[in-house]
Structure 1
């Protein structure tokens, strides 16, 4: 029989004190911001159950283990800077994000079958390189089709790399290994459960979704590579979701982002020594040397020329532990402050922190039309419970909150007629403060109007949420779930 050591009350108190010290050092010295309710939950957990709370905190509670340096970029001053809102482009430049450029082409896909055709066509177009990053690679028809095409391109001499998140694809990460490895596809799992802790924390997940062909064409959005995002099942239709394809600098920026994730998957000691924006510049110069088409053929822009204003101006907005700041949270909060006409939001999970929620409600109170589109019941029960208080506050402030009768997985934001976002990030603490995420920012009127119309059309299908107070039991449950909202 194993005998556990017995600690005196003084020794137990010393252990609790040491655990709280670890929490303070980790969160304060490393400046890991978290809302008061989350901080209180960790402190109480460590104090009440120190022998369990401390290991759990060290595994799941930390955010940016090594706080990276993100060098500020010069404020956009080029020919195209006049076509984007300065509050957004200057903020992103200050946070180390590569600047926006006009793309050669941009197309959105609303329907699953359309998105699958676009994805397959892009992968099969690769002649030199093909990089794929996904949170989920399904053990199903779509996953098998993707694996088959990746193997096909690898056998044709294309360098193919596949990066799959270890938690997102926990049940299916190795389902296609035999086929992929035999064909010569390079595969990596991002942060597997059992790994060297110096590589980062298990709680940090790569939620980015993108496919880059030849550093020139990119497919991205909110869709993972599994049946429910494209074709559904015999009993369920595919989820409502969004994706897009683009040719131009968006692909170069996605390539630079993927390169950082690919290196990080091998460990912090192999992390890129140059920042994201600098990698983008290097890859852009290489692409231009090779004669690739990166920009729109439009002439020099003019603020008064509608032809130039229609150029598909866009940039990637990556966010996560690989940046010094919480880029997307900063952009969304700033968007809520600067919006004057409309703020349209679509997300499957809505558990914002206090700062973002206050910015959204204040926008609604000052007369901005705030429209929030959510599924009535998402595929995760806990975030649905945690969102209750935030949804009621939004409705009380005058925002329109619409609940769809089917699962929606799309993530999109439209700010006035100046900016639209589409990509992988949900409006919750996990996406905005913990995960590796990426959204494409579009500044062209065609792309902004398309995303706005998509949100408006589906909002008309939903039922309005109410601010009706819940029962005391439901309110208590919401509070308890919200206290761990960072982990949802």
Structure 2
């Protein structure tokens, strides 16, 4: 009897395993769910060894893309692949066109905020000076002294008739203490949760988080960067022992057609969250004659709503085209093998590679997972700078030709799973400004010196890297 039951159980187990693997294979192929290699292997092992647990989790977390990839190369749709910079040099538009990115758009009155206080002052001014509309998207909206202040400012302006939309991530909203949504809605602020975990589990989207952070005023003024709406990302909170000292973060604001691109992106995100059609706005003239005070840039969205991993693709490509310097700042650094190889090869062929990270971040597992990459890059000749402060800024500078700044970390979750937003700048003067800002943050940082890990430590690092795509 025991033998029969054992045989039946083995048969049932085999059926469950086969079913799980079939669902994985069919779903990945038909739904265009291309996966990070370590993620694919981890799912396969889990579906074989623990299918009863892995299969339900896979069904809740499996969906990585919800748009199909174009069969026709999008670069073929453009007549002109090259744009001129102010100094007469050229901007190659082949890759941005192939990725379906927006065209270059003009902007002016740009400011990279020196610190959290300046960023907060700009945010206050935007709320106060908005005339028609204000749209705010954030991952975390803290229930602290700063979050409460911003919420009250929004409530005041909404009561004055300003049209305000607030888009909060469905998971991030719990991490900051949950803002007073009831009071916001009562004042007239429209509030929506982006991919609520309770409503998205059966659609396979529970793992997809909206990490984009931006504020758009009157379709013309953009505030963007890595700051969440909480005290520690700006000026700290003296009443809280955990948030008394602010983190080092990066944000900027600008005005012009580039801000209108961000408005269109917010409209699309809002439409997705509300299941409504996006607002139809007047056609945007992306390429305009550039005056002395104007520059050009483009929005670079990445995530499940993009058929390609746009930010990741731009980074890998830039590693192989950089000639003089690659400079990056990020709170976390868990690159996949191609990105790590690209950075290492750049260093080996003489490109100066400087990475700025916190000596200890707020994610212990991410700190463990990054050590292998640290050793590989140090051996290749790259400089890894470790700051004594918590650095939450996200930016990359390639030579004097490209600067990317926004919400994306240099880890697999940001590059392959999250909804992220970066802004690409091509004008040399703006690129130099970002370079100077990052270099200034390196003032009290120290160079990483590698030490060969012992076997237990090396095994621990390897195990953590297996799940790095979820960190």
Normalised TM-score (structure 2) = 0.91
Partner of 2:459: 476
Partner of 1:437: 420
Q: Does the alignment pair 1:284 with 2:284?
A: yes
Q: Tell me by how many angstroms 1:60 deviates.
A: 2.1
Q: Does the alignment pair 1:334 with 2:338?
A: no
- CA distance 1:395–1:102, shift in 2 (3 Å): same
**Partners of 1:163 and 1:189 within 8 A in 2:** yes
**Partners of 1:85 and 1:418 within 8 A in 2:** no
Query: Of 228, 231, 241, which residue of structure 1 is paired with 2:232?
Result: 228
Partner of 2:137: 133
Partner of 1:263: 271
Q: How does 1:190-269 map to 2 (within 5 A)?
A: 190-197=194-201, 201-234=205-238, 235=241, 236-267=244-275
Q: Does the alignment pair 1:54 with 2:55?
A: yes
2:469 is paired with a residue whose SS is helix
Separation (CA, whole Å) in 1 of partners of 2:273 and 2:204: 9
Q: Tell me by how many angstroms 1:338 deviates.
A: 0.5
Q: Tell me by how many angstroms 1:311 deviates.
A: 4.3
Q: Tell me by how many angstroms 1:24 deviates.
A: 1.6
Separation (CA, whole Å) in 1 of partners of 2:375 and 2:19: 40
Partner of 2:21: 20
Q: How does 1:64-463 map to 2 (within 5 A)?
A: 64-67=65-68, 74=78, 75-76=80-81, 86-87=91-92, 89-172=93-176, 174-197=178-201, 201-234=205-238, 235=241, 236-267=244-275, 270=276, 282-284=282-284, 298=291, 311-463=294-446
Separation (CA, whole Å) in 1 of partners of 2:298 and 2:261: 8
Q: Tell me by how many angstroms 1:189 deviates.
A: 0.5
Q: Tell me by how many angstroms 1:241 deviates.
A: 0.5
**Partners of 1:128 and 1:159 within 8 A in 2:** yes
Separation (CA, whole Å) in 2 of partners of 1:482 and 1:470: 15
Separation (CA, whole Å) in 2 of partners of 1:258 and 1:198: 25
Q: Tell me by how many angstroms 1:233 deviates.
A: 2.7
1:456 is paired with a residue whose SS is helix
Separation (CA, whole Å) in 2 of partners of 1:198 and 1:256: 29
Q: Tell me by how many angstroms 1:284 deviates.
A: 2.0
- CA distance 1:147–1:296, shift in 2 (3 Å): farther
**Partners of 1:35 and 1:354 within 8 A in 2:** no
**Partners of 1:221 and 1:424 within 8 A in 2:** yes
**Partners of 1:103 and 1:295 within 8 A in 2:** no
**Partners of 2:83 and 2:91 within 8 A in 1:** no
- CA distance 1:396–1:419, shift in 2 (3 Å): same
2:197 is paired with a residue whose SS is coil
**Partners of 2:369 and 2:465 within 8 A in 1:** yes
Structure 1: state its 5+ residue gaps.
Answer: 289-293, 299-307
Superimposed CA distance per residue, residues 304-324 of structure 1 (whole angstroms, 9 cap, x where no aligned partner): xxxx5x842211111111111
Q: Tell me by how many angstroms 1:37 deviates.
A: 2.9
Separation (CA, whole Å) in 2 of partners of 1:212 and 1:76: 29
Superimposed CA distance per residue, residues 100-153 of structure 1 (whole angstroms, 9 cap, x where no aligned partner): 123122101031111100111012211111100000000011111111111122
Q: 372-381 or 33-42: which moved more?
A: 33-42
Partner of 1:33: 34
Separation (CA, whole Å) in 2 of partners of 1:9 and 1:411: 50
Q: Tell me by how many angstroms 1:460 deviates.
A: 3.4
- CA distance 1:311–1:199, shift in 2 (3 Å): same
**Partners of 1:105 and 1:312 within 8 A in 2:** no
Structure 2: state its 5+ residue gaps.
Answer: none
